[in-house]
Amino acid sequence: MASPPSAPDLQPQTGPPAVAPAVALDNLTCVFGKVRAVDGVTLNIAQGEFYSLLGPSGSGKTTCLRVIGGFEAASSGSVRLFGQDAARLAAYDRPVNTVFQDYALFPHMSVLDNVAYALTVRGVGKAERLKKAGAMLELVKLGELGSRRPAQLSGGQRQRVALARALVNAPKLLLLDEPLGALDLKLREAMQTELRAIQQTLGITFVYVTHDQGEAMSMSDRVAVFRAGKIEQEGSPRELYGHPRTAFVADFVGGANVLGAVLVGQSSGTYALRPEQISLTPDPGAPMRGRVTGLHYLGATTRVEVQVGGQTVHASVPSGDVLHLKINDQTALNWNPADLRRLEDA
Amino acid sequence: MTTQGRAVPQKAARPSFGKRYWPLLLLAAPLLWLGVLYLGSLLGLLGYSFYGVDDFTGQVVPQFTLSTFRQLVSTPSNIDVIARTTLMAAAVTLACAVIAFPLALYVARLTDPRKKALWVLLITLPLWASYLVRVYAWRLILAQEGVISWAAAKLHLTGVLDGLLSLPVIGGTSLANSYFGMFLVFVYVWLPYMILPIQAALERVPTSVTQASADLGARPAQTFWRITLPLALPGVAAGSIFTFSLTLGDYIIPGVVGAPGYFIGQMVYTQQGAAGNLPLAAAFSIVPIVIVGLYLAFVRRLGAFDAL
**Tens digits of residue pLDDT in A34-90:** 888 999 999 999 999 999 999 999 899 999 999 999 998 889 999 999 988 988 888
Same domain, yes or no: A112 and A235: yes
How far is it between the farthest Cα atoms of chain B?
Answer: 92
Same domain, yes or no: A183 and A310: no
Q: Report yes or no on A248 lying in a domain.
A: no
Residue ranges in chain B whose pLDDT is less than 70: 1-15, 17-18, 303-304, 306-308
A242, A268, A284: which is the final residue of a domain?
A242
Instruction: Name, in order, each residue with C-beta under 8 angstroms of A305's C-beta and a sequence gap of 6 or more.
Output: A292, A293, A294, A295, A296, A312, A313, A314
Q: Report yes or no on A267 lying in a domain.
A: yes
CA distance A180 to chain B (A): 16
CB-count burial class (<10 Å; 0-12, 13-18, 19+) for A86? buried
Same domain, yes or no: A280 and A176: no
Could you give phi then psi for residue A28, rounded to 5 degrees?
-70, 130
Whether the CA torsion B32, B34, B35, B38 is positive or negative: it is: positive
Q: Report yes or no on A119 lying in a domain.
A: yes
Q: What is the mean pLDDT of residues A245-253?
A: 88
Q: What percent of chain A has pLDDT over 90?
A: 44
Same domain, yes or no: A191 and A95: yes
* Cross-chain CB nearest to A117 (options B216, B231, B307): B216
At B13 the pLDDT is: 59
Class of domain B67-306: mainly alpha
Q: How many structural domains comprise chain A?
A: 2
Nearest to B108 by CA among B171, B189, B197: B197
Strand partners, A107: none
Nearest to B175 by CA among B139, B136, B200, B206: B139
Q: Which residue of A has its CA nearest to B305?
A: A108
CA distances from A206 to A32, A94, A176, A227, B179 (A): 27, 15, 7, 21, 62
Cβ contacts from A onto B, under 8 A: 69
Q: Which residue of B has its CA nearest to A150?
A: B307
**pTM of the predicted protein model:** 0.78
CA distance B113 to chain A (A): 15
Contact A100 B226 (CB under 8 A): no
Same domain, yes or no: A203 and A274: no
CB-count burial class (<10 Å; 0-12, 13-18, 19+) for B297? exposed
A204, A220, A242: which is the final residue of a domain?
A242
| Distance between first and last Cα of chain B | 44
3-state SS of chain A is CCCCCCCCCCCCCCCCCCCCCCEEEEEEEEEECCEEEEEEEEEEECCCCEEEEECCCCCCHHHHHHHHHCCCCCCEEEEEECCEECCCCCHHHCCEEEECCCCCCCCCCCHHHHHHHHHHCCCCCHHHHHHHHHHHHHHCCCHHHCCCCHHHCCHHHHHHHHHHHHHCCCCCEEEEECCCCCCCHHHHHHHHHHHHHHHHHHCCEEEEEECCHHHHHHHCCEEEEEECCEEEEEECHHHHHHCCCCHHHHHHCCCCEEEECCCCCCCCCEEEECHHHCECCCCCCCCEEEEEEEEEECCCEEEEEEEECCEEEEEEEEHHHHCCCCCCCEEEEECCHHHCEECCCC
At A237 the pLDDT is: 92
Other residues' Cβ atoms within 10 Å of the Cβ of residue B14 = 10
CA distance A282 to chain B (A): 51
Contact B214 A70 (CB under 8 A): yes
Contacts of A117 in chain B (CB under 8 A): 213, 216, 218, 226
At B2 the pLDDT is: 42
Cα gap A157→B41, rounded to integer Å = 50
CA distances from A256 to A276, A280, A292 (A): 9, 16, 18
Task: Kindly provide the ipTM of the predicted complex, given to two decimals.
Answer: 0.81
Contact A100 B213 (CB under 8 A): no
Contacts of A166 in chain B (CB under 8 A): 215-216
Whether the CA torsion A323, A328, A334, A335 is positive or negative: it is: positive
Q: Which of A194-198, A224-228, A279-283 has the lowest mean pLDDT?
A: A279-283
Q: What percent of chain A has pLDDT over 70?
A: 95
In one letter, which amino acid is A143?
Answer: G
At A81 the pLDDT is: 93
- Reply yes or no on whether the pLDDT at A264 is more than 80: no
Contacts of A104 in chain B (CB under 8 A): 206, 208-209, 211-212
**Tens digits of residue pLDDT in B194-207:** 999 999 999 988 99
Contact B215 A121 (CB under 8 A): no
CA distance B209 to chain A (A): 5
Same domain, yes or no: A29 and A117: yes
Q: Report yes or no on A83 lying in a domain.
A: yes
Cα gap A51→A62, rounded to integer Å = 13
Same domain, yes or no: A66 and A105: yes
Q: Report yes or no on A279 lying in a domain.
A: yes
Q: Report yes or no on A277 lying in a domain.
A: yes
Same domain, yes or no: A167 and A316: no
Contacts of A108 in chain B (CB under 8 A): 230-231, 303, 306-307
Buried/exposed A155-185: b ≥16 CB within 10 Å, e otherwise:
ebbbbbbbbbbbbbbebbbbbbbbbbeebee
Cα gap B169→B269, rounded to integer Å = 24
Contact B209 A104 (CB under 8 A): yes
Instruction: Name, in order, each residue with C-beta under 8 angstroms of A124's C-beta and a sequence gap of 6 or more.
Output: A132
At B8 the pLDDT is: 47
Asked if A57 and B180 count as a contact pair (C-beta separation under 8 A), the reply is no
In one letter, which amino acid is A167?
Answer: L
Cα-Cα-Cα-Cα dihedral of A275, A279, A285, A289, to 10°? Answer: 60
Interface of B with A (CB under 8 A): 206, 208-209, 211-219, 222, 226-227, 230-231, 303, 306-307
Q: Which residue of A has its CA nearest to B223?
A: A121
- Reply yes or no on whether the pLDDT at A322 is more than 60: yes
Asked if B198 and B236 count as a contact pair (C-beta separation under 8 A), the reply is yes
Other residues' Cβ atoms within 10 Å of the Cβ of residue A150 = 19
Nearest to A140 by CA among A182, A112, A177: A112
Bridge pairing between strands A288-297 and A230-235 = unpaired
For residue A311, give the CATH number of its domain. 2.40.50.100
Contacts of B226 in chain A (CB under 8 A): 117, 120-121
CA distance A122 to chain B (A): 7
Same domain, yes or no: A268 and A218: no
Asked if B247 and B186 count as a contact pair (C-beta separation under 8 A), the reply is yes
Q: Report yes or no on A247 lying in a domain.
A: no
Asked if B62 and B71 count as a contact pair (C-beta separation under 8 A), the reply is no
Cα gap A244→A251, rounded to integer Å = 9
Q: What percent of chain B has pLDDT over 90?
A: 30
Domain range summary for chain B, segments of one domain joined by +: 67-306
* Cross-chain CB nearest to B208 (options A97, A102, A117): A102
Owning domain of residue A146: 23-242
Same domain, yes or no: A31 and A106: yes
- Rg (C-alpha) for chain B, rounded Å, is 26
